Structure 1
């Protein structure tokens, strides 16, 4: 049984979308149980509408809900111990839940997760990893907004975290990993990126195959299973890709309704357009996984619908089912065995960007 704690007060639409999403999950997964945290006056009336969810859930009333515009520091001061966000994370720390899912304030969720769960030993900064649809299948891109900037050793951390996630999600024994750069030549790019590439080549880890540098167009091609970058570039790439997918969808809808012949042509090609729509549906890849913490936390888009939230919950389910945390710890140990010199840790500064 996979136990998932839910911050029912997060997101732009409140408990209605979240509980509807849980109902979608309950229809597809028979081995799941929910721990739902939120204000009773807001959650209880909606929960009664979804008896399937109520039957497999434990509800805990929380006096406080973190607002989408709260600063992380404010959320920590006023939301600790009492908020639905904190309680859902704390359930993971206490071992009552295997994974936490929230559609709430990204900065507050990251700050609370770091404070409550702490980063794993030898991991300097956590990362947010996103699933990326590609021409081949899917890949993982990280970091997409947890922290801005990264040195060589932090990029290596991200490579280790991402490859462990790829093994857990894609069932690949040795996923390919690439460092996002302005060119594939070894002489190009920032010094930290080149140094990270050198160290990954020297380590020659059995948990991954280091591919080398990749460029922006390699992400969509699916050149590698894991694309590693720092949070500023990763977040811009993510938002650009999502915006482009919506833009193309709008172009297609407008083109197909412009003339009678276009409408007739659409009828003949309807199945092909349906497959394209499914491939470009950003809801199906909703959910960023916070990696590098002593527990699994998944951040859903705040504005998603019920199917998008269900996708984020099922992503967390897959990470817990496939023992993501154990895989990460094993990969960290393997890297340090290959590179015994060690390194000095530095704390991250700056707040996470919003997904």
Structure 2
């Protein structure tokens, strides 16, 4: 594999694009000099924003004025044409011009257009949407987060293998613990699909991960499990609940520390710890969901993030490529 990582970037997706996309590229490039960015979008706007901030050897702009909007349904986005910035970025990965593609645009459209352009990895039936979550000791990979509402035991088994491969790509020195999200830790708990998946996972032995059975929702953040697997419906509910709880805690803490003189004095005395707390719950640090199961990696940046969040998702792209994610999945499947 070439030492230069080539990222196809949809510059027109998400809020405040292409401004935040280009600012994110500039920020990311400052500490990733060997990355090449193939940028798809409005060349006039992109050129003005780049304005010699990175070397011309590290980027190429592919001009297109057509883009997928956030209001488009996946079907409308696919019909919009093959000259949208999203479609062309994905197509560049299909053609092997780039190693990985990233977009902050419409999630449903990104999944559909990716599936239209890219093949599935052999023996995998469905791609999954995965993301990084913080826990007490570091990070966890959680999947599926909404790509597949209904899943078979084979799908969940595949997600387990893919999630473990993703974790291993991001953290090469660690062997992940894998668990199935369930309503209890006992073998008898859960529906038939999850019980069948438990049996499949128990029978499959691997040196790349350790199967740890079931995990309940209240244990997601304890750090004992690194890869958490569920169907897309359950995973999405868990994700939104976790995000909402984190926002609730942060907002309530702000009120408590700014609502009275004692609170303000307390916040000044604890400013170092409060900064650490804020940083730990900063969603920009965990930006970058990954569609896995396709024969090329596709990364989805949150549409509402800023340039720091987008730069962090570019870093996820680099780690996925350097960690040989697709090869790991093929070997384990």
Pick the TM interval, shorter chain. over 0.9
Deviates more, 1:60-69 or 1:291-300: 60-69
Residue among 63, 66, 76 paired with 1:64: 66
TM-score, with length taken from structure 2: 0.96
**Alignment correspondent of 1:115:** 116
- Contact 1:155–1:229 (8 Å) recurs in 2: yes
For 1:1-355, what aligned pairs fall within 5 Å after superposition? 1-48=4-51, 51-52=53-54, 56-80=58-82, 82-332=83-333
**Alignment correspondent of 1:344:** none
**C-alpha separation between the residues in 2 aligned to 1:183 and 1:83?**
46
**C-alpha separation between the residues in 2 aligned to 1:19 and 1:246?**
28
TM-score, with length taken from structure 1: 0.90
Q: Call closer, same or farther: CA 1:76–1:292 in 2, change over 3 Å.
A: same
CA displacement at 1:174 relative to structure 2: 3.0
CA displacement at 1:69 relative to structure 2: 1.1
SS of residue paired to 2:36:
strand
CA displacement at 1:261 relative to structure 2: 2.0
**C-alpha separation between the residues in 2 aligned to 1:249 and 1:164?**
33
**What value does the CA root-mean-square deviation take over the aligned residues?**
1.3
Which consecutive unaligned segments of at least 5 residues does structure 2 have? Answer: none
Aligned length: 330
**C-alpha separation between the residues in 2 aligned to 1:260 and 1:174?**
49
**Alignment correspondent of 1:342:** none
Deviates more, 1:90-99 or 1:293-302: 90-99
CA displacement at 1:194 relative to structure 2: 0.5
**C-alpha separation between the residues in 2 aligned to 1:136 and 1:67?**
38
SS of residue paired to 1:220:
coil
CA displacement at 1:241 relative to structure 2: 1.1
SS of residue paired to 2:214:
strand
**C-alpha separation between the residues in 2 aligned to 1:127 and 1:226?**
13
**C-alpha separation between the residues in 2 aligned to 1:294 and 1:41?**
33
SS of residue paired to 1:206:
coil
CA displacement at 1:221 relative to structure 2: 1.1
**C-alpha separation between the residues in 1 aligned to 2:279 and 2:195?**
37
**C-alpha separation between the residues in 1 aligned to 2:322 and 2:202?**
31
Structure 1 residues 156-196: Cα deviation after superposition (integer angstroms, max 9, x where no partner) = 00001000001111224531100000000000101000000
